[in-house]
Each structure stands twice: as structure tokens, then as C-alpha cells.
Amino acid sequence: MTAADTKTKPKSDLQTMPLDRLEAEIGSSPNGLSGEEAKKRLAKFGFNELAEKQENPFLKFLSYFWGPIPWMIEIAVILSAVVGHWADFGIILVLLFANAIIGFWEEHQAGNAIAALKAKLAIHAKVKRDGNWTSVGAREIVPGDVIRVRLGDIVPADARLLDGDPVEVDQSALTGESLPVTRKTGEAIFSGAIIRQGETDGLVYATGANTYFGQTAKLVGEAHTVSHFQRAVLKIGNYLIVLAIVLVILIIAVAVWRGDPLLETLQFALVLTVAAIPVAMPTVLSVTMAVGARLLAGMQAIVSRLASIEELAGMDVLCSDKTGTLTQNTLTLGDPFAVEGEKPEDIIAAAALASRAEDEDTIDLAVIGGVKDKAALAGYTVTHFQPFDPVHKRTEATLNATDGTTVKVTKGAPQVILALSDNADAVKSAVTDAVDGFAKRGFRSLGVARAVGDKGWQFLGVIPLFDPPRTDSKETIAAAHDMGVTVKMVTGDQQAIAVEMAKQLGMGTDILDAAVISAGKDETVSAEDTKKIESADGFAQVFPEHKFAIVEALQKDDHIVGMTGDGVNDAPALKKADCGIAVSGATDAARAAADIVLMSAGLSVIIEAIREARKIFQRMNSYAIYRIAETIRVILFMTLSIIVFNFYPVTAIMIVFLALLNDGAILSIAYDKVRYSKTPENWDMRSVLAVATSLGAMGLVESFGLFLLAERVFDLDRDMIQTLIYLKLSVAGHLTVFVARTRGPFWSIAPAPILLGAVIATQTVATLIAVYGVLMTPIGWGWAAVVWGYALVWFLIEDRVKLIAYAVLDRRHDATPPRAAPAPSKA
């Protein structure tokens, strides 16, 4: 049987048959495939990925004509045709298609943007091709490939393990097993599982839809998380919809009581509802978030969950890894401490033999680079290598010397190496003093031991390693503090090393030894430990379970917490944090659990991402205030005009023009210039509603003022008054955007050219419609100038009212500062 036949071979057979038979079945061997054969198989089997359900674009477009809002517009179209208002029929039809086209296009663009960003997070795998190990995209793996998986890797395809040490595999997401399972030579590991411990090679026997995951995960859709900010904005939308419907029912009731034509009243009521309901809100949300994600990507921060942008804006505590984030992760060797009878160069050589350059581990590369005489390594052949893992905290190599002697070497945490050594009692005091001395100077320590033949381990000495702080870390931490974000250092190093680094970075030196934190699987952090965690400046000797406990304790104390991580065991803490951040070089498992993945090293990119997230929040806040204020002023004015004055201040077609022009331009708020807040953002509904209501009330007074002036002072006929009111609602509505977008005076922040241009363009169109009377009574340039002047005067008054509203709110806030809402944990 050839490789071509494996597509139809029952997977269970491939999973259990002897390895030699499997190799024959799929036409491969432990040496892997040639590059040419891999290309042929890729063409035959396809990419190693689950085929996504492709939505028909035409059907997707038609979906925009289905739902409560489209139904209202469609009923308005039908009613216009029934009463013979063909101009209204045409314009409302244009509105219907415009909403569908804008929504479809913007969602399509946002989807493309997010797909492009996620493509940067594609998993790569080590594959043996043409006898050499190379890195390829996981989607290019084919049956017959030999892959290498190690700690932290997500298994890229179903494979059978070749000769090597057992590995521990977390396949809970696939099988429901809560604990990692051990897999030995010949046993299967499944695509999507995570390597928790060990390193080994495997022979791929199934890819894509033929994998265990592919067979059991059909039709599984991605769960989309909605942030509490998005939920709050959608609640505003629901509130406005209910308000609009109640007032429209009131209008219809009054019209029926007065004996007005029912069909025309229904048509007007429906169109008014469409204008009042925030039709553009979902589109504005998705566009703003997608634009923000693209900006963050330009800063080398890839957003894997759009809602996390808002969490980032509200984050007030950032727990940051030390190594590689606050430091350069470029280790330098110091002068080793040698126990009596050992030479420093022999200690470094032994440590180098317990290292492997191809793993590209920072410590291994530093140790190997510290060997001055490479000949010291030439007399040994490695027969077995055990890589580092967080549980055992050491590496080990078994060697054959040229004289036939078997030698073992190991390096790792000094206390772990001491525990192995037969001479521990004799050297422990000196080793402890050496480690403490190195720690006070900011050095990490690496214990080294050797065992010759059947003899026990002998402790050789301690190698000091220094990882200097990044040049921008101190400045970045200061910037974070200025923005109201507390940075807490998290490190597995000793307390003395953490304190020394904190001094160099200008951080507080209250470093808590994580050993005091209750972090067992079934334990919760005590109230006493919670207080310690909140007050600490950092944490030393941290294990992964401590990270989870730290996040949980801070969240219980009402903090919105960010956590950085890079290892497979960091994944639970990254998932638990409000904003999990996988740092540059993180394992696949950490990146899969994180909300944001950094593509460049250091903390500065996180700070830039916080700034941008807060800007995005400001834009959404501005839109919410504008939308509430505009709905209040338009629908209340219409309702009161009909009930009190028995006068329809605008026609149905005018409402359509208002909705079409205003919703089209407001999308540009996603690109507006804003200043980021110096404090973490939170959704303050009280302030938003108070300011929006104040502006809405001012708009109501403004509209009735113009109506009374036109009718009582200038004695204009009502057809002309309707056109004046239409132009005033259009102009004043968009001027409200410039009031709502700043907390200070409207001139305190210049608007983005695209927002200014969009408003100028739409209001030029609105003015021309009113001046020349397109489907309404023309008013001429003179009255248009009067309306513009009137709206501008009230615009200045509204701006002062806004400043007063914020001043009152700030005084109340200072008197009774609200406590931040507890951060919801993510599912």
C-alpha cells in the first residue's frame, strides 16, 4: 500500500499497528521525506488544516436584509408604494441598500484584517526533510513526515512516537482527561495536544480532517467573547430602541385619535424609528476595533481576541516576566565558583556537554559560548539528552568518552543539583555562600555535577549568569506608572536577584517570595496573602501555579490584571488574566492562551499597546455620547412637535436623508484623533448618560427655538419650516460630534482630517438639498446661512454645557469615588 492509500485506511489501524508496518504503509522512515516527495504529498492530501466553512458572499449580503431593523425599513418601503409616495419609496430603498452595502463591506474588511493578523500567529514545526531538520509551517506537514516536538509545543498532526524518552502530553482539550498522560515509543499523540514535559520525534500518520481532532471537531465554531464595554454599548442600543418604540407608539396613538391618515402616519413612524435606532452601532464597533487591531499590529502586538483591546485600556496592574521582557535575555557568564579540586574551565565544559545548541535555549547557548577550548568537548559522544523542564529544573546528558567510559553531566538549579550529589554535605555551605554572593550582585546561578561510570553524582561548582536589563525598561516602567499602571516583576529567580534587578529598574524592592503563597490546585488564596500580593512590588521563585494565584488574588481585589508569559505552564495564568500577553518567543501553548501576542521583545510595546487601547476606548465613548444625545434630541422633538403643535417638523424623506448622511459619516470616528487617558479606563455609564442627556436636552431647546422663531417671528409657512428644521437637525447633529469627542473645550484636540472631511462633505450635501429643495421646499442660500449661524451659536453653548456637566460629575466623583467593577474572569 502506498501513501496515496492512507487517506482511506482506517485511522485506528494506523494508530495501533507496529511501527515497522506503519512505515511501510505510508512509505516513510525515521529519516523522514525528501522535499520533492513532501511536495507531491501536499498536492495529494492538501494542507494540514481543517477546511473552514466558507460563507457564500451573496447569501451573506442578503442577510443584511433580514432582522428587526431591515424589516422596519422594508415595511416603510412597502407603505410608501401603497400610498404612492414614489420619491420616498426610492430614497428609503437607497437607505436599505446603503446600510446593507456599508455593513457588508466593513465586516468583510474587518474579517480580512483579523485573518491577516492571525496568519502571523501560524504555528511552525520542526520537520526532517532531506535528512536535515528544518522549520516549516504546520499546515505544510504531510503524512510520512518526521516531526520533533518539545516542551510547550502544540502537536501539529497525529503522529506515532519514534525511539526516545517518554513525554507527558496534555490532551484535555481533545479527550477530556484532566491530567497529562505519558506517551512512549510507538504510542500515538494527537494534533492539538500540548507537550507538557520531554522531547521526542514522531512519525506523522494523519493530517487535517483525517486527524483525531479533525474527526471529532467537525462543525465546531469559534466562540466569540463580548467584553463588558461592548455589552454596555449594546445595552445603550437596546435602551434607545425601546425609547424609540414607546415614543413612536405614542405618535401613532395621537394620530389615530386625531383622525390623521393611518398609512402615512405608519410610514412616518417607521422611518422615524429607523432614524432613532442606532443602525450603525454594530458597524462602528467592528470598524473601530478592527482599525485598532491593525494599529496594534503595526506596533508588533497581534490581537487574537478583539474584545481584549478594551481590557487592555482598563488594565491597572501588569505582572511582567523579568527574563526577556525586563531584561535583554542575552546571558553573560561570570567567573565560576569551583569546589575544591575542580577547575573553572572544566565546570564550564561539563555544563556545555549538558547543553544542546540546536534547541536555541538562551542558557545553553551562553554556556556553550563560554567554552574557550572547544577541544575539551571533542572527546565525547552524546548518547542521550534529557532537556530542561519546569518540574525537574535541570538538563542531563549521557556521554561516551573516547576511552569507553560512560559519563553523565547535568546542570540546573543549584539546590536541585545539590540534592542529587553525593558530596552535597561537604560542599553545601560553600555553595550556598557562593549562590547568595552571586545573587546579591544580580547573577543567576547554575549548578553543575558529573557522574563517571557507576559512581554517584559529584557537585563541581556554580556558574554565574548575568542578564542585563533592557535599555528601555526603566523608562518604560516609569511611563507605565505615569499612566496609572502598576508593574509587578514576576521571576523564577531568587529573591536577592529580583531585588537587585528592581533597584536597577527603579522599581520598588518589596519582592515577595512566592513560596509563601498558597497555590495548591484546590486551594484559594487567603485574605492575608491577597494583601501581601497587592502590596508587593514583585514576586521571586515563582512557579506557574503561583502566577495563577497572583492573578486570581488581584482580580478578587477589583484590579484589571495583565499577565505576561512565554511557557506552556504559563497558559492557565494567561487565560485567567483579564489581558493575557504572550511575549516574544513564547511557546505555541502560551500564544494560544493569550489575548495579545508580542512579536518584538521588551515591555515598551505593551505600554504603546495600552496607549492605543485607551485611544480606542475614547473613540467608542465619544460615539456613545453622540448617539444617545442625537437620539434623544431627534425623537423627543418629533414626538413633542406632533403631540403639542400637531405639526410634523420633518417629512419621512427628510428623516431618511438624516439617517443616510449621519450614519455614513460617523464611521470615520474610528480614525479620530484622541488623547489617551492618564488613568485606566472604565465604563462610567453615569457620566455618559449625564453628558449625553445634557446635550440632548440642549438640542431639544435649540430645535423648538428655531421652530418658534420661524413660525411666530418670521411667519414662514410650515413647508419651509420643515426644510429649515431638516437642515438644522443635520448640521447641529454633526456639530454634536465635535462637542462629544472631548472632555475639554472642543478646540482642545484637533479632529482627524478624515472625520472633519466626512462631516464637511455630508453637510455640504445636506445644505445643497435644503437650498435647492431636493424632494422638499427650497429655502435658498440666505435662510441656509441663518440656520448655519444659529446652529454654530448653539454649538458653542452646548460645549459650555458639556464642560459644566463634567465639572459637576468630577466634583461628585471626588466626594464619593466609585469602586471599580470587579473584572469578569474569562471563560
CA 543 – CA 741 distance, rounded (Å): 45
Q: How many CB atoms lie within 10 A of CB 394?
A: 21
Residue appearing with cell numbers 496515496: 4
Whats the size of the chain, residue-wise?
Answer: 827
Grid cell digits, residue 105: 463591506
CA atoms within 13 A on the CB side of 772: 6
State how far the Cα of 732 lies from the Cα of 724, in Å rounded to an integer. Answer: 12
Report in angstroms the alpha-carbon separations of 336 from 431, 450, 461, 465, 697: 11, 16, 7, 9, 76
Residue 427 neighbours by CB under 8 Å, 6+ apart: 339, 340, 418, 421, 459
DSSP state of 602: S
CA distance 10 to 123: 27
Task: Find where cell 527603579 sits.
Answer: 506
Helices 228-258 and 262-276: crossing angle, nearest 10°? 160
Strand 486-490 and strand 317-321: the pairing is parallel
Residue (of 823, 316, 322, 178) closest to 552 by Cα position? 823
Cell of residue 483, nine digits = 499612566
Q: For residues 48 and 158, give the distance between their C-alpha atoms in angstroms, rounded to a whole number.
A: 10
Cell readout for 751 is 479632529
| Cα 301 off chain centre by | 9
| Catalytic residue, candidates 158, 316, 321, 578 | 321
DSSP category for residue 821: P
Question: With 0-12 CB in 10 A as exposed, 13-18 as middle and 19+ as buried, what is 712?
Answer: exposed
321 flagged as catalytic:
yes
Q: Which amino acid is at 740?
A: A
Compute the Cα dihedral for 438, 439, 443, 449 and give only its sign. positive
Residues taking part in catalysis? 321
